[in-house]
Amino acid sequence: GQNIDQPTEMTATEGAIVQINCTYQTSGFNGLFWYQQHAGEAPTFLSYNVLDGLEEKGRFSSFLSRSKGYSYLLLKELQMKDSASYLCAVKGYSTLTFGKGTMLLVSP
Amino acid sequence: SQTIHQWPATLVQPVGSPLSLECTVEGTSNPNLYWYRQAAGRGLQLLFYSIGIDQISSEVPQNLSASRPQDRQFILSSKKLLLSDSGFYLCAWTSSGRGLNGYTFGSGTRLTVV
């Protein structure tokens, strides 16, 4: 099975940098995904890591260490619209298992 | 381009009534299809997934069922709803294979059982 842990809530200031951590234990690993979910909406895909290292996509970066079962999502130059829940998800043999999400609150 | 449609957006149903939620994908063939549920304060829970017509796997035993009558259509059903079935239901798809771009979700159905 899969076990995924991430902080429940984080707060940050507009313009700052925030790092959201995710640790996982899995019986099969075919990649780690990050999704953004605004309140009342469906999750939207942010990033995907299957190999160790950093993947950068504009203001968002995601890092993976398979040996440590660890990933983080880095958000730079925070904007008010980044206030949302961020979901870490691990792909096993055929399906995605999601963590409970980290609610990020960005204040002015 | 590929699109996913899910309806209805909102539903209020009495306990014991039936349920049918529909999801269709356009612009692709032989997609992998998924039903997730998100209850208040909880993460996304995988309910069913299908890698082809007549190939449906259930992840959580409960009073829900899923069917795939056509290649790009996925239906979630219940004969008798329970209060605990309330939640945000999301359909998702990915291309058959490794799904490197992750799952794409429909807009969701918010179900309230009263």
Whether residue B43 and residue A91 make contact (CB cut-off 8 A), yes or no, is no
Residues of A in contact with B107 (CB under 8 A): 41-42
Please tell me which of the candidates A42, A97, A101 has its beta carbon nearest to residue B108: A42
The mean pLDDT value for B46-57 works out to 91
Query: Are residues B64 and B77 in contact, defined by beta-carbon separation less than 8 angstroms?
Result: yes
Could you give the CA distance from residue A43 to residue B108 in angstroms, rounded to a whole number?
A: 10
pLDDT at residue B98 above 60?
Answer: no
- CB contact under 8 Å between B43 and A94, yes or no, is no
Cβ contact A104:A18 at 8 Å = yes
Instruction: Report pLDDT for A7.
Output: 97
> For residues B97, A63, A85 and B99, what is the CA-based torsion angle, rounded to 10 degrees?
0
Burial track B13-41 (b if 16+ CB lie within 10 A, e otherwise): beeeeebebbbbbeebeebbbbbbbbeee
- The pLDDT, as a whole number, for residue A92 is 85
| For residues A94-102, average pLDDT | 91
Given this model, what pLDDT does residue A1 score?
A: 67
Question: Which of B83, B70, B88, B59 has its CA nearest to residue A94?
Answer: B59
pLDDT at residue B99 is higher than 80: no
| Cα angle value A98/A104/B42 (rounded, 5°) | 35
Separation between Cα atoms, residue A18 and residue A11, nearest integer Å: 9
Statement: residue B39 has pLDDT above 80? yes
Task: Read off the pLDDT of residues B65-95 as tens digits, 9 standing for 90 and up.
Answer: 999 999 999 999 999 999 999 999 999 998 8
**Mean pLDDT throughout B9-35?**
95
Task: For A100, name the nearest residue in chain B, comparing CA atoms only.
Answer: B43
For the stretch A41-68, pLDDT in tens is 999 999 999 999 999 989 999 999 999 9
